[in-house]
Structures are given as C-alpha cells and as structure tokens.
Amino acid sequence: MLLTLILAAAIQLIPAPAQMQVRGGSFKVDPAKMSFVVDPASGLPEEGYTIDITRARLKVVASSEAGLFYACQTLRQLQMADQVGHDALVIPGTTVIPGTTVIPGLTGNLLNLTGNLPCVKITDYPRFRWRGFHVDPCRHFLSVEETKRYIDILSAYKMNVMHWHLTDDQGWRIQILKYPRLTEIGGSRVEFDGSVHEGYYTQEQIREVVAYAAERHVTVVPEIEMPGHSTAAARAYPGLTCTKESISTFYTWGSPDFALCPGREYMFEFLEDVISEVVQLFPSEYIHIGGDECKKDKWEKCPACQARIKAEGLVADAAGTAEEKLQSYAVRRMEGILAAHGRKLVGWDEILEGGLSPNATVMSWRGMEGGIAAALAGHDVIMTPSHDGMYLDHFQGDPKIEPVTIGRYTTLEKAYKYEPVPEELIKNGKASHVLGLQCNTWSEYIYSDSQREYMMFPRAFAVAETAWTPAENKDWESFRVRVDKACRDLDRRGVNYHIPLPEQPGGSCDKLAFQDKAVVSFTTTRPVGKIVYTLDGSEPTSASMAYSKPLEFTESAVLKTASVTSYGKLSPVRTITLTKEEPWPAQPAAAVESGLKAKRADGRFTKAADIKDVPWKDVSIKRLRDLSTLEPFNRNLPDSTVFYAAVAEGFFSVEATDTYRFSSDCDQVWIDGKLLIDNGAEVKRYSRHDAEAVLEAGPHSVKVVFIYNVVGGWNSIRNKTDVLVRRRPDDKFSSIKML
C-alpha cells in the first residue's frame, strides 16, 4: 500500500484524468509489448481514451484520432519522475483489433517513450469540447515559429482551440489578396518614437500554421474584427468609415472613435470579400467577428447610418439604442455571410446588445452575465470572463515589482478555481450550452516573446485542467504541486514562465529608508520551495541563505532576494536598497511659498533627459493632477496633437519625523532637491518605482516632471499625476497636501 501511495504521488498529470488506478510496479518500454488502437465502438466519449499498463504490456484504446493523440500526451507525462518527456516518436508494433482503425502517421512525431512507465489504468475524456487559448499578434506581432510553439505546448496539455486575433486597430495581420493595402498600410504602424512595428502572415503561412495545428488536433479560429476595432482596415481603405477621412497610425492602446460604416453597402461588400478568402484558409466551424467595444458616436451623426436605421425600422427601446440595434443588424448580416459559406459566427458578448443574431455563439468576456443571458436564450456560449481568471494579461503578483500589464490581478490560484458553468444554468437545464472556456493573452503590454510566455505560463495549465478534468476531480493543493512538473517541461522547451517573486506584505518597494531600524518581511503568491537572499552584493543561488523570518537592519545594506522552486530554479532577482539616514531637514519658513509654480514646453519628449534648450512658458494649475490636463485628451491621437513636458514646484508638510514612502506615475519626483523617483522612459500606466525617505516634521519642497507622450503604447495624458505618500506603517497612499 505504501509503495502504491508513493507511486501515485509521483504520477503528476496535468490535466488530471477522469479516472486513474495505480497498481504498483512498472513496465519497461518494449515496442513488441505495446499496442495503440482507435476503436469508435469502444464506448468512450469523443476524444476519450484508456491507458492500461501492467508489468507485461501497454495497451492504449481511443475513440478517435484525437483521443489517441491525448493518450500519447498522457504517456509522455507518465514517464518516471527522473525522466523528461520527448517530442518525437516511432511507436512500432501496433496491434490492430478487428473493427478498429490504427492512426495513420502514428509512426511519426508523437512522442518517444523510453525507460519505465508506472503500472496504471486510466480512463480519460474531456469535460468540454472548447478548450481554448488566444493569441494576439495585432498589438505585438509573433512569428510563425513562436505561434507553433504555443500550439505544441498547449496541445500537449489537451487544449484544442487556438483563437487567432488577426485584425484590430493597431494592425491587420492576415494577407487578403483582393485588398493588398490591408497589410501594406494596416500591417505596420509608426510608433511615437519613430520606430516601426510591422508584420503579417501570408496566406501560405496561415495554411502552414493551420495544418500544423490540425496535426496536433488544435482547431484555429480566426478573428476578423467588425464593426469596431477596425482602424487598421480603415487606414488602408478610408471609404469604410462614416466620414471617409484619412486616418493616422493608431499606436496607442484602447480603441479610437472610428468604426466601420454599416450605413453603406461597401462595408458589407468588403467584409464578404474578406470572409470569402478567410474561409479558404481556415476549415474551422466557427469564425470570430469581434463585435466588442464599438464606438458609435459617428453613427449618430452619419446620414448613411441614420438612413439605414430608418429603412430597417430600428427603434430605440429597452433592448437598446437605435445605434446598438444597427450593430445588431450588422452582426446579423455578417452571420448571413458566414452561413453562406457553411460557417458559424462567434463574437464577444457585446453582440447581445440590440438583439442577438439567431444562431450566434457568444464569447462572454465582461463577466458571466452575458454568457448566462445567451445560454438562457438557447445560444451556445464560451466562458472567458476577464475578472474571473481567464485573462492572462493581468498582474500575477504585486504590481509594484511585476512587469507592467493592463491591470487587474489574476494569480495562478484564481485562474485554477474558476468554474465556467453557473448554477443558474444548471437549475434551468441550460448547462449544455456552455461549450467550454478560453484563456486570453492580449498583447498590448507584452513587448517580447519571453514576456508573453511569462504571462501565459503556468496559468494556462490551470485553464487546461478546468477545461478537461471533471469538476469533482479538481484540487488546488494537488495542482500547485503538479504544476512544478509542467514547469520543468517548459524548461526543457526553453520557455520562460512566472515564478512567484518575494513580495513585501502591504506593498513591495525596492528603495527603503530608515533612521534607526528597518524590518523586511517576504511572502509569495503561492508556496515555493524557499526564499533565498544575499547581503554581500552577490547574486542569490539556491544555496544562498534561506529566509525564515523577517530580516532586521540597523545599517545600510543591499539585499538581493529570489524565490526558489521545489526543483531548484530561481525567480528573477529583486535588489532592495536599504539606506540608513538622518532625517531630511524641513525647509526654513522664509523659503516656503503657497501654491504651485508650473511651466510647460511643447515637443515630443520620451524622457526627462530629452528636455534640453526648449522654450518654457508659465502655466497656471491648482493641483498636481492638473499637469495632465494642459491639452485635451483625444483617444484618436490625430496629427494635430500637441505633446508637451510640464514641471510643477511647490511645498508640502509632514506632521512627524518619520519614514515616508512616495509613489507617482510622473516621470520624475524631486523632494528637497533630491531625485527620489525616476520612471525614466518606462511605460507609466502603473507606478513601479516607489521610494522612501526619512523626513523631518515640517515643510518640504517637491518638484514634479510630467511628459505627455506615448511610451510602449500607453498614452501618458491618462496618468494620474498626483504624488502619493504614506507614512510607515500605513498601508494606504494618499495625495500629498500642497501648502
């Protein structure tokens, strides 16, 4: 019994199978004693399989080719704990059972079994038929080879749909032969700093990826956005918009105030032409048409749109505005185009607004509500709610130390514990309308392949288990142990992934100050093997001092720390500077003035060091937050946009001599003439360079530098330009109060 329990603990499968019996003992791999068959009459569910391993033989039976493929992925993970799976195989000696079919191509490129396998009996099948993952090359392009790598990894964990987001405001990434300007113009963008981001897939490359995915039983579902998120198309063909105006490069995130014009037949003719080429490239049952975040302002003023509204009798009522019903009309037209090609429409949950097309499938991203409403009305749905763990572009640790993201907070545990079938649907007998779930990795703030991997993994494994494993078999405590083996598989593949960083409870900070003593504590978002640290300037290793209790400092120090996994791999290293200092003296009363002095200089500046020999002019502001209001916000960023730098100076006061932590999204913050915060040319959507100082009670000077620019796609005029402060041990920041 003890041996069986030990073996069971060593069998760490993701996703967990429906049923598994551990027998004890092992089977030495011998091709003459192995059989792999497909038996449609096996009684197994679609994509299901059984693996039966004894000391004498290995037998795999599957209900379909896909089932056999998934069985092979399980065998790859079943190799003994001290072995790492391989990708290539020849499985000779296949036994044919009468009335069954042997997989064509089973003698190539599935896996390579070596050594010993544990004796087990597994019966397995998926919970959902849509087990999706999403990639977004529109904002930051990824190559064909990198795309294939995601297919390789996620198909190995039984994911079977790749949602390929191919068109958006920031780029059109699919070649359409009839409209070459879509990729010639819409396939590249000039960034704020003059650099060019470009890339698209030729139709031959599309076919290559689709075929590659099909070999791994992954269906590629393309997304062609309409009627919103279509600026890249409108840049190439301005006649698609209501005003027919020429549109500048859209190089910021979010969506501009442009949409295609459903009042003109040209829009539908264009989409029909595009779809006629798309369906030749993608054999998928579904085509995704977007339908989200469509700005309708221009429709309200467009004669053609208003004429269409009148002609179609689209009247505002409780179901939506006339313009929302116009979008519904456009989606129904799109559904008809797809139906003519034998395809089905899937769209984001905004397609519910104004009335849902008769046969549309809803991808519910703004929460569960859209999916529930659609399912109750008899429509199929795919659950992918952003706030419930399905958006992998969210922070997965303390935002103060993790790479900048679009925001929100989704840990591995949160992603794992998401349940896609609401009780309301179960009670109403509509649960079968939930086709499955999907994780999305939007790439606005993902600037490299390595960062994309860091955001996707290991959270995508959590989604994979929810999509495949029966709900009653899921167990977080088991999964967080099993995920380490999956991460070792990523190491073998050379894939980057997230390891929880050591975080300071109450908010991390890398620049600490103290007068007498400082105490530094650490935690992690999930348990790791250990936390290690050094104090001599050297880089931590797995053999460095292990953190076991809060660290106390009475002298200045440089602390370097990292997490170590159970298998000895380190997280990125954090360097924390602790400075013992005397309080910065308060400013003399005679030097203190009330109010703010501010000035601005117009120009395209990336960082504070760029502001040289420029003409300044005085401006009047009442609050620091007014620094970002010196020009009106325009999400479209037309060529007429005036960018600028601004500097504000004044005084604030602290009540007691103590340590104070400062935070700001501005480019620089100076306290008493010392540069305390320097955000440089970093994306400043969220502050990540907090710093502490010991201040004497009384008034202190502050100077703030703010630059209106676009760095990494983030429009800084949307920043909050306050300077925030908190006194130790307060856990909440508040705006400094100017004198």
For residues 259-286, give the mean pLDDT: 98
Is the pLDDT at 384 greater than 50? The verdict is yes
For residues 303-319, give the mean pLDDT: 96
CB 627 within 8 A of CB 647: no
Is the pLDDT at 91 greater than 70? The verdict is no
The pLDDT of residue 99 is 38
The pLDDT of residue 282 is 98
What pLDDT digit, counting tens, does each position of 28-77 carry? 988 899 999 999 999 999 999 999 999 999 999 999 999 999 999 999 99
Mean pLDDT (the chain, rounded):
93
Higher-scoring residue by pLDDT: 701, 354: 701
CA dist., res. 437 & res. 458, Å (int): 17
CA dist., res. 4 & res. 100, Å (int): 33
Rounded (10°) angle between helices 303-311 and 322-340 = 80
The pLDDT of residue 162 is 98
Coil/strand/helix, residue 593: coil
| CA dist 106 → 37, 95, 213, 216, 459 (Å) | 10, 12, 16, 12, 31
Walk me through the domains of the chain, giving residue ranges and CATH numbers.
2-124 (3.30.379.10), 130-470 (3.20.20.80), 511-580 (no CATH), 589-735 (2.60.120.1560)
The pLDDT of residue 9 is 62
Quickly list DSSP for 206-239: HHHHHHHHHHTT-EEEEEEEESSS-HHHHHH-GG
| Neighbour count for residue 249 (Cβ, 10 Å) | 20
Looking up tokens 């037209």, which residue turns up?
A: 333
Task: Identify the DSSP state of 101.
Answer: B
Q: Does the bond joining 729 to the residue before it have cis omega, within 30 degrees of 0?
A: yes
CA dist., res. 201 & res. 174, Å (int): 5
Is the pLDDT at 446 greater than 80? The verdict is yes
- For residue 102 the two structure tokens come to 């042997």
From the list 305, 146, 311, 154, the residue with the least C-alpha distance to 217 is 154
CB 36 within 8 A of CB 103: yes
CA dist., res. 601 & res. 617, Å (int): 7
CA dist., res. 562 & res. 571, Å (int): 6
For residues 363-390, give the mean pLDDT: 97
CA dist., res. 527 & res. 481, Å (int): 9
From the list 666, 670, 667, 668, the residue with the least C-alpha distance to 651 is 670
Percent of the chain surpassing pLDDT 90: 89
CB 178 within 8 A of CB 277: yes
For residues 107-133, give the mean pLDDT: 84
Is the pLDDT at 203 greater than 50? The verdict is yes
For residues 492-511, give the mean pLDDT: 96
Is the pLDDT at 113 greater than 90? The verdict is no
The pLDDT of residue 101 is 40
Is the pLDDT at 94 greater than 90? The verdict is no
* Alpha-carbon dihedral 155, 158, 161, 166, rounded to 10 degrees: -40
What pLDDT digit, counting tens, does each position of 130-187 carry? 999 999 999 999 999 999 999 999 999 999 999 999 999 999 999 999 999 999 999 9
The pLDDT of residue 85 is 38
* Alpha-carbon dihedral 179, 183, 186, 188, rounded to 10 degrees: -170
CA dist., res. 720 & res. 349, Å (int): 31
- The residues that bridge with 124 in the sheet, in sequence order, are 49
Burial of 8 (0-12, 13-18, 19+ CB in 10 A): middle
Supply the residues annotated as catalytic: 168, 229, 293
The pLDDT of residue 357 is 84
What pLDDT digit, counting tens, does each position of 535-588 carry? 999 999 999 999 999 999 999 999 999 999 999 999 999 999 999 999 999 999
From the list 474, 485, 480, 413, the residue with the least C-alpha distance to 74 is 485
CA dist., res. 611 & res. 643, Å (int): 12
> Distance between alpha carbon 259 and the CA centroid of its chain, in Å?
25
For residues 190-204, give the mean pLDDT: 96
Question: Residue 673: pLDDT band by 50, 70, 90 thresholds?
Answer: very high
CA dist., res. 104 & res. 69, Å (int): 11
CA dist., res. 388 & res. 639, Å (int): 39
Task: Look at the alpha carbons of 505, 507, 511, 516 in this order and tell me if their dihedral is positive or negative.
Answer: negative
Question: Residue 729: pLDDT band by 50, 70, 90 thresholds?
Answer: confident
